[in-house]
Structure 1
Amino acid sequence: MSELRTLHHEVGGRHLLVLLPGAYMTPEDFVAAGFFTAAERRRLDLDMAAVHLDLEQISSGSALPAVQEQILGPARQRYDSVWLGGISLGGLLTLCHNADQPGSIDGLCLLAPYPGSRLTLNAITRAGGLDAWQPTAEQLDDPEFRMWRWLKQPPAELPVFVGYGSEDRFAAGMQQIAERFPANARLAVPGGHDWPVWQALWEHFLDLGHFPPRN
């Protein structure tokens, strides 16, 4: 298993947020979009790590085990809480990891989470919606279906934020994800599938109070 490339923002915080990228995105994109500086401007008690994952790692299934082994597992020994988040495909991966490794993370930050393929969503729709859908054994070989099974009844005690643009081309599926969580855990803002929307959602997430200011 090759070493994952990460960019870190470390302030000696007691909490860690690991960010997974969207397709064709790099850790440097999070930095350029001001994600680290927005947290630092608030002087939050929060370390951050943006991870590079290429599509080959994701499609082969090696990406999330590497994130768990190299980043999340060791971080649990060091931090009071470890959050996982991501944008678009990174949001889907965050949900997939949480579904397959329950208890491995303490909170989720989902920015425009890609809801999965049309085949996955259509199968659930044809079954009468998520609450009516009963996954088959064959479907549960697919991490997208396992993610949606987890969303049937997510644990109420898990802190989650789901945000997306109301004009996002995937907004209908994102809304279905968001509606599985309390109203105060979700936000739709005007805009599409792009950085201005994700930046606005990130600012909102940081202001929710999940992470205290540093002393």
Structure 2
Amino acid sequence: MRLRTELFAGPARRDTLLVLLPPALASIDDFYSQGFVDALRQRKVPVDLLLADTSGQHVLDKTVVEHLHRQVVQPAWDCGYRAIWLAGISLGAFSALHYAAHHADLLAGLYLLSPYPGTGDVLDEIRTAGGAGPWSQLQPAGIEARTDERAWWHWLAQQSAQGTWPTAVYFGTGTNDRFQRGQALISDLLPPERVCRLPGMHQWATWKTLWEDWLDHGPIRSPPR
């Protein structure tokens, strides 16, 4: 996994680390070319940024949790960061959710940009049950150990049922996103004030607008002067 760290306050490390995970068929280089890094730098958001080149192969191999833990999150804790956020686009958001299902206690929160909601068979299970909440009640004990998306759907549904959200989850997507039916099953589980829908499709232009909106109004924004 290729990594790159950006420190926005000189050599001094911040208390918070924001980890960005790319969509499928993209890389961390796209976060530069699409203006994501510049948007964070211009706003002087009080975080350090780490770009992690997770890929579809990590998901297919079912190693994404292991790689994120061993190469990203645990080393960040060892370096002294006090809060770690995962922000992912599409398949990157899928990977962030999967990591949270196994290690939520190590995360301050997630930002899901146009998340890929998973395969059709799992989504059909959830719809047939009447939503992720009822679906999660039908699942056997130990489902959180599963290696497919059922693990994170169960985790997300349980967090929603408890209503306390020790690991905060924020969600943003375009109103014409091609995965919006499955995404609606995710957003229905979240507090409404943490859900953002803006005009756009499943593409970089929409993701950039959602990213800027979250930087301006979300939990890691710079304090007012």
TM-score scaled by length of structure 1: 0.91
1:56 is displaced (CA, Å) by: 2.4
Q: Tell me which amino acid in the other structure corresponds to 2:168.
A: P
1:127 is displaced (CA, Å) by: 2.1
- Which sits farther off after the overlay, 167-176 or 205-214? 205-214
Q: Is the 8 A contact 1:7 1:28 kept in 2?
A: no
Alpha-carbon distance in structure 2 between the residues aligned to 1:143 and 1:101: 15
Cross-structure match for 1:185: 194
Cross-structure match for 1:172: 181
Alpha-carbon distance in structure 2 between the residues aligned to 1:193 and 1:68: 28
Cross-structure match for 2:109: 107
Q: Is the 8 A contact 1:135 1:145 kept in 2?
A: no
Alpha-carbon distance in structure 2 between the residues aligned to 1:211 and 1:92: 21
- Which sits farther off after the overlay, 29-38 or 56-65? 56-65
Q: Tell me whether 1:147 sits opposite 2:152 in the alignment.
A: yes
Alpha-carbon distance in structure 1 between the residues aligned to 2:57 and 2:133: 33
Cross-structure match for 1:125: 127
Q: Any gaps of 5 or more consecutive residues in structure 2?
A: none
Structure with the higher fraction of residues in helix conformation = 2
RMSD between superposed Cα atoms in Å: 2.0
> How many residues in Structure 1 have an aligned counterpart in Structure 2?
212
Alpha-carbon distance in structure 2 between the residues aligned to 1:63 and 1:132: 28
Q: Tell me which amino acid in the other structure corresponds to 1:43.
A: K
- Which sits farther off after the overlay, 64-73 or 131-140? 131-140
Alpha-carbon distance in structure 2 between the residues aligned to 1:43 and 1:62: 34
Alpha-carbon distance in structure 2 between the residues aligned to 1:204 and 1:69: 31
Deviations 1:119-167 (A, max 9, x none): 1100111223222211247976342111111121314233221000111
1:212 is displaced (CA, Å) by: 5.3
Q: 2:216 aligns with which of 197, 207, 215?
A: 207
Indicate how the Cα distance of structure 1 residues 122 and 212 shifts in structure 2: closer, same or farther if over 3 A, else same: closer
Q: Tell me which amino acid in the other structure corresponds to 1:189.
A: L
Alpha-carbon distance in structure 2 between the residues aligned to 1:94 and 1:36: 19
Q: Is the 8 A contact 1:164 1:188 kept in 2?
A: yes
Q: Any gaps of 5 or more consecutive residues in structure 1?
A: none
Alpha-carbon distance in structure 2 between the residues aligned to 1:161 and 1:31: 23
Please give the residue correspondences for 1:54-93 in structure 2 after superposition, counting only pairs within 5 Å. Answer: 54-77=55-78, 78-93=80-95
- Which sits farther off after the overlay, 126-135 or 35-44? 126-135
TM-score scaled by length of structure 2: 0.87
Cross-structure match for 1:25: 26
